[in-house]
Chains A and B, each alone.
Chain A
Amino acid sequence: MNEPGPFNPAAIERLLSLGGQKFTLEMIDLFGSYGGKKLGEARSARDTGNLRALAEAVHPLKSSAGNVGATRVQELATQAEASALAQNAEQAGKELAELERAFAEARSRLDSERARLTK
């Protein structure tokens, strides 16, 4: 079975078909700002050992990431949420660190998409 890639360009095409260029750019920006906010909340929750809050912070990242094609972020948010709900602090912490890296990569990829769309 093929591993899904870290990014699904079809999601951007879906957004374009749904709302056009302006809407797609807004969604890309919203993912950056909202995702960054939620990851900040998740970090604070990890630092204070509040695993429930960590799960709640990463939960909305799953579908938000799916909407902009950030497949790897979607997967890692799902895993981190499950580990946090299972009270596995060590695993949730590792997955959160990976999630942050994947988020940075997704933002970089979305910046390229933004550049392509505004060219």
Chain B
Amino acid sequence: MNTADNPPASTAKPVRILVAEDSPLNQQVALKQLEKLGHLADAVADGEQAVAAHKRTGYDIILMDCQMPGVSGYEATWLIRNQEKEKAGQGETVKRVYIIAMTANTQADNRQKCTEAGMDGFINKPVQLAELEAALLHALADQAAMKEMDAVVDPVIIAGLHQLRMPGKPDPLVELIDFFLREAPAQLDTMSDAVAKNDTSSLSRTIGAATALKGSAGNLGARNLAALCDEIEMTAKTWMLADTLPLIERAREELARVRVALERIKGG
């Protein structure tokens, strides 16, 4: 509830937030702070409840206390991340929840442990309004970037490729990405050169490179790039080679977006 005397400190779009915190005082303060920032939130008092609530509701952001009785914040995060991996493995579209650790900044609450458990951000306790707002803005920016990335590279295909990993062996997804990022610019150059030369081999070279790039882009879930390569191939097959040039340029721009997304995927 926001009144004229108590305006929201942020006009950010409301998101679904869960507060997992065992101290009722800290819980109430966090809920009030979120309300002030224009967000409605739910609250639970331990990690087990946090996992169950997230399974039911699918929150965008969880503010997770690290040390709670029973299932701790670390364990709850680990369980949530495992649920996400399982869903991805079954081909379901997974929305990764952004988990912000609320730490008392002591030895028992260390940040490395938070990161290892799968948490994305940190905030010190007692939580200050400005610090909370900054953490939420960071979380939302990260989620927006993730959404944009999903539009460029299909997350279901990436999740499927993740499943090919074998213990003690190089990650095949990383190898595939590296190979793709080496080969794709060369294939686009082949198309540009072939069109520019406009000789007897131009048509077959353009079609060959477009077909190859369409296949490798499709294998990595780069749908837009694959579609553009298909368009280049179809246009070339109608002998309209000059018309492929703007398409090749668009494919270069799309490849730049794909590169950013794939580098991010590689970085975990």
Cβ–Cβ < 8 Å partners of B108 in chain A:
59, 81, 85
Interface set, chain B 54-90, CB cutoff 8 A to A:
67, 69
Which of chain A's residues has its CB closest to B103's CB?
Answer: A63
Total number of residue pairs linking A and B with CB closer than 8 Å? 58
Q: Is A64 an interface residue (CB 8 A)?
A: yes
Nearest neighbor of A56 in chain B, beta-carbon distance: B69
Cα A18 to Cα B104 in complex, Å, equals 21
Q: Could you say which residues of chain A place their CB within 8 Å of the CB of B69?
A: 56
B26 and A60 contact, CB distance less than 8 A: yes
Find out whether the CB atom of A67 lies under 8 angstroms from the CB atom of B26. Answer: yes
A15-B29 contact, Cβ under 8 Å, with A60-B23, A66-B126: yes
B106 within 8 A of A: yes
What DSSP secondary structure best describes chain A's contact surface? Answer: helix
What residues of chain B lie closer than 8 Å to A81, measured between beta carbons?
A: 106, 108
Per the bound structure, the CA–CA distance linking A27 and B30 in Å amounts to 12
Is the CB–CB distance between B106 and A63 below 8 Å? no
In the complex the two chains form, is A82's CB within 8 Å of B23's CB?
no
In the bound complex, do residue B25 and residue A30 qualify as a contact, i.e. CB atoms below 8 Å apart? yes
Decide if B230 is an interface residue (CB 8 Å cutoff): no
Say if the beta carbon of A39 comes within 8 Å of chain B. no
Range of interface residues on A (Cβ < 8 Å): 20 to 34
Does A67 contact B25, Cβ atoms closer than 8 Å? Answer: yes
A20 touching B6 by the CB < 8 A rule? Answer: yes
Indicate if the CB atoms of A30 and B125 lie closer than 8 Å.
Answer: no
Nearest B residue to A19 via CB reads B32
Is B129 an interface residue when CB atoms closer than 8 A count as contact?
yes
Contact residues of B between 103 and 137, Cβ < 8 Å to A: 104, 106-108, 125-129
Contact with A along B12-32 (1 / 0, CB 8 A): 000000000011111011001
Task: Give which listed residue, A59, A63, A82, contacts B107 with CB less than 8 A.
Answer: A82
Name, among B24, B33, B126, the residue most crowded by chain A CB atoms within 10 Å (CB to CB).
B126
**Is A13 among interface residues, defined by CB-CB distance under 8 A?**
no
User: A64 to B6, Cβ gap below 8 A?
Assistant: no
Contact (Cβ within 8 A) B29 A18: yes
Q: For A33, give the chain B residue with the smallest CB separation.
A: B24
> A20, A30, A63: which contacts B126 (Cβ < 8 A)?
A63
Contacts of A20 in B (CB 8 A): 6
- Closest beta carbon of chain A to B161's beta carbon, Å: 42
Q: B28 touches which one: A26, A59, A63, A78 (CB < 8 A)?
A: A26
**A56-B69, A78-B106, A85-B108 known; A64+B26 contact, CB < 8 A:** yes
Within 8 A of B (CB), among A24-79: 26-27, 30-31, 34, 56, 59-60, 62-64, 66-68, 78
Listed A/B pairs (29) with beta-carbon separation below 8 Å: A14-B129, A18-B29, A18-B33, A18-B36, A18-B129, A19-B32, A27-B25, A27-B29, A30-B24, A31-B25, A34-B24, A34-B25, A56-B67, A59-B108, A60-B26, A62-B125, A63-B23, A63-B125, A63-B127, A64-B23, A64-B26, A64-B126, A66-B126, A67-B29, A67-B126, A68-B25, A78-B104, A82-B106, A85-B107
Please list the residues of chain A having a beta carbon within 8 angstroms of any beta carbon in chain B.
Answer: 14-15, 18-20, 23, 26-27, 30-31, 34, 56, 59-60, 62-64, 66-68, 78, 81-82, 85
Nearest 8 Cβ contacts at the A-B interface: A66-B126, A63-B125, A60-B23, A64-B25, A63-B126, A67-B126, A30-B25, A19-B32
